[in-house]
Structure formats: structure tokens, C-alpha cells
Amino acid sequence: MTSDALLRLHGYLESAHWRGDALLGPDVGVRFNYRAGRFVKSALRTFPWGDVRYYLQGQAYWVIANWRLADEGGAHFAEIATRCSDEMVRRQRPDGAWDYPNPAWKGRIATAEGTWAALGLLETYAHTRDAKHLDGARRWLDYLQNEISWRTIGEGLAVNYFANRDGPPVPNNTAFVLRLLGELALATGDHAVLADTNRMAIFLAEAQRPSGELPYAVGPVPRRLEHFQCLQYNAFQLLDLLRYDTCTGDGSLRPTATGIARFLAASIDNEGQQPHDCLHLRPTVVYHGAATAAALAAAHDAGLSADGAELARRVWAQVAALQRDDGSFPHSLGDHRILSDQRSYPRNLAMILTHGLLVDRQPATDTGVPQEPGR
């Protein structure tokens, strides 16, 4: 059964950010807001800042979490997931893309936003078999292949970050596109969508460091980006690669996943605390810990980490200790040593909910975790 803590988090999201067809609210954002503005808004969070955003990644995590809860017999959760998915389809452009929600990046089409929308739609299709959700995912894939595309890096292929913009290849994008391709193959039986996955796997293997870490970006990058939020990115990548492996039975990504699992496990201390990245202990970003806990549990379930389940419980205990009375969580603590971000960000809270569902359901005597929501 789902823990009371996670049901309280769901209840908070539903009351504070759910608008009947979409999860809406502020976001950490990019550029100035990410670096400084959000701390001012946090200190003055009763002020109506007017920065309500519709992030597709947030919708997708919300959909996935609600289907996982619906699997326990909750028709209310199924209704939420379906309405949210229908709204994603309604907002999709005729060319299959979605506009980026933050005005600072107006006009950009991001691989992450569209791919996570498609993953949420496929989760709903798996439960409802409503063709419009599968069609939305396929139309995004057409745009992804034709407008964003991938590039050759060594012997491999790397997925681009934005449509029609240059920049160093970011392994995280390739990892979640691999997951999308695996999910589409599973949903449709069409394995032609996997044509490029072997070379994508090669790109990730060639990018991986001896420690097991996948770098934020490949090629020359500023030092501040060398290990940018490396634990949370590697946790996401591990979850995506293991899901791809489950969908396809491919096995080619397991060595890379094993390295990531080793990297994550080596970063956790005896109390279950993790550093922000390889160079800094702080800040503590709450959703990072939730992602790491879920990834370690999944690694244990996949046979890649003997102590992954125990490490996952330790990390999740650190996350759970920060839950507030209303069911929400602060975003971060110890920013710039003395600051914190106490605002409620629906995208990140939905991530905590989804990842918590992968960890919190695992009995203390169990040796594994459930499959991803809806599977």
C-alpha cells in the first residue's frame, strides 16, 4: 500500500497545483531566475509573482504517478491521469512539437519537454488504449527525428538538446530518448523505431568516465558544467536505461547502467546523504535525493547493485524527513551556503512523488522494487 507520506504529497499537489486538466505553478526556471531570482521569490513567496508555468515534464511525472496509484484501484487517480494526458494532446502543435514554457527560452523546442510528454502519453495509452495518446507520441517522434535529430559523435549517435540550435551533446537527452524508443517499441510492436539505438548506446558507453559517471556534456564545457548536478542526472539516466532494457530485452546498455549504479552507490554516506555533485556537498536539492533513491532501488532490482535497496532506503529517509505538515517539500537548502528555496514547484514535487512510489512500496525484507508505474 502507498504510504501516508506519499498520499499527503499527492493531496498537496492536487489542492495546490492541479487545475482539472493540468499541473500548474512556478518553476526554478533558467538563467537569472535559476541563479538568483528564485531566492527573492522564496523569501517573498506570499507575493503573487505571476510566474505560473505549464511544464510537460511535470505533466508526465504527474500522469505516471497517478497511473501507479490507480493500479491500486483508485478511479480518481485514473481520471486525473487521463485528463492530464488529454490536455497534453490538445496543446500539441500540428507539427508534433510543444512550445517551451519559460519566456526566457521563448521560441525554443526542447528535446526534454516533448520526450517527457510522449512518455506520459504512452503511459496513458498502456492503460486506456486510446489511439489519440499513441498518435501524440508518434507525432512527437516524427518531429524529434526530422527537426531535432541526432548527430555523430565518434562511433555513436547523440540526441540534440534543442531544435535548430548548436551546443555540446548532453548524454541525458540520449538516455531518455532511448527510453522513449523502447516504450514505443513495447506499445506498438514496431521494432523499426529501434534502428538507431545501438549507436546511441555506443555514444553513452564512450562518454562514460572510469568512475561510472556520465558527464553532463561531452566536449569542451565550462568547469561549472563538468559535473553539473551529476548525481541527479546520473540517477535519471540509470532509470531510463533500465527501463529501456526492460522494454526491449536488449542488454547492450547494462554495462553502462552498472557503471552508473556503482558511481551513485559510492557517493552515498552512511546516513544516506549525497553531495550535490562531485565538487560540492551543498546545496541539498530534495528531488535529487528522491531520484537517486529510486535509481539505487531499481539497480538492486535489476541485479546491478547488491546493496542498492538498503542505500535507497537510507537516501529516501533523508528525503522523507524534509516533508512539511501540508505534504509538500522545500525545493533546496544551503544554496550559496546561507540561502534556501522554499517555494512549491509542481514539476519537481511530481518527480518526488513518482520516485517515492518506486522506493516506498518496497518492503524492508524484499529484494527488489516494483516495475515502473503501469508496467
What SS3 string covers 110-178? EHHHHHHHHHHHHHHHHHHCCHHHHHHHHHHHHHHHHHHCEEEECCEEEECCECCCCCCCCHHHHHHHH
173 part of a folded domain: yes
Q: What is the largest CA-CA distance in the chain?
A: 52
Alpha carbons 364 and 366: distance in angstroms, whole number: 6
Look up the CATH number of the domain holding residue 221.
1.50.10.10
291 part of a folded domain: yes
Domain that holds residue 285: 4-55+167-360
Local confidence pLDDT in tens for the 375 residues of the chain = 679 999 999 999 999 999 999 999 999 999 889 989 999 999 999 898 989 999 999 999 999 999 999 998 889 999 999 999 999 999 999 999 999 999 999 999 999 999 999 999 999 999 999 999 999 999 999 999 999 999 999 999 999 999 999 899 999 999 999 999 999 999 999 999 999 999 999 999 999 999 999 999 998 888 778 889 999 999 999 999 999 999 999 999 999 999 999 999 999 999 999 999 988 899 999 999 999 999 999 999 999 999 999 999 999 999 999 999 999 999 999 998 899 999 999 999 999 999 999 998 654 333 333 334 333
340 part of a folded domain: yes
104 part of a folded domain: no
Per DSSP, the three-state class of 188 is helix
100 part of a folded domain: no
353 part of a folded domain: yes
159 part of a folded domain: no
124 part of a folded domain: no
**Number of domains composing the chain:** 1
Other beta carbons within 10 angstroms of residue 126's beta carbon come to 17
